[in-house]
Amino acid sequence: MTTFATPSSTTAPASTETSVAQTWGLVARFANPAELMHAAEAVRKAGYRYWDCHSPFPIHGIDHAMGISRTILPVVVFGAGAAGCTLGFLLQSFTNSFDFSIWALVWVTGYPFLISGKPLLSFPAFVPVMFELTILLSALTTAFGMLAFNQLPELYHPLLKHPGFGRATDDRFFISIEARDPQFLRSKTGEFLKSLGASSVEVVES
């Protein structure tokens, strides 16, 4: 807690103003991946919702231990690919096979493209463009969808202020529980993490 003195004036007595840093949550350190896995299962079973595991490398089975369900991103990417394939077919059908006009900021008119008596609706000729649009929309949706679902980019996170958290990319294993979790009580949650075998439990300020 840091206390700042408010300057006195001739009309009001001197007073003090206290600035209290808001608690973001707790971070617990574990010795190895096995302890982290066991603790993750216990935290999930305890009903905590806003928490995460931090490890320097992927741990097989940690998603299941945390209760993380499969992402919906593949379904979204499939939809984008199907939309790209359909768009490629409709675009070529309109520009090469029909002569009606549509309004797209300006009037656009299709033009039947007659070559050596070939059919106007020639699916094999449309495949390259349909394929490219399928890949393009799928790739863009994968990249930007991943960023959106992971709420990235995130230029700042309170855990970065924790003095030892930088070693989460080296040789440390952590579990963090946020204060916004409905079950979070600073003392009770800290004791719970200690009971799971954490070597240290520290408060993280926002």
Residues 114-138, mean pLDDT to the nearest whole number: 90
* Per-residue CA distances from 21 to 95, 119, 137, 177, 180 (Å): 63, 73, 45, 17, 15
pLDDT tier at 117, thresholds 50, 70, 90 = confident
- Where does a domain end: 112, 130, 149? 149
Q: Residue 96: which domain range? A: 73-149
Query: Is residue 107 classed as helix, strand or coil in its secondary structure?
Result: strand
CB 66 within 8 A of CB 44: yes
Residues 64 and 90 grouped into a single domain: no
**What span, in angstroms and rounded, lies between the C-alpha atoms of 37 and 3?**
41
- Where does a domain end: 110, 127, 149? 149
CB 53 within 8 A of CB 36: yes
Q: What is the pLDDT of residue 36?
A: 97
Query: Is residue 56 classed as helix, strand or coil in its secondary structure?
Result: coil
Residues 63 and 164 grouped into a single domain: yes
Q: What is the pLDDT of residue 52?
A: 97
β-strands 200-205, 106-109 pairing: unpaired
Res 187 pLDDT > 70: yes
Q: What is the pLDDT of residue 194?
A: 97
DSSP state of 22: P
Give me the number of domains the chain comprises: 2
Contacts with 76 (C-beta within 8 Å, 6 or more apart), sequence order: 141, 145
SS3 sequence, 42-64? HHHHCCCCCEEEECCCCCCCHHH
Residues 192 and 124 grouped into a single domain: no
- Where does a domain end: 101, 124, 149? 149
Q: What is the pLDDT of residue 29?
A: 97
Nearest Cα residue to 198 out of 24, 36, 65, 13: 36
Nearest Cα residue to 192 out of 63, 46, 75: 46
* Residue-wise pLDDT tens digits, 51-83: 999 999 999 999 999 999 999 999 999 999 999
Amino acid 102 reads I
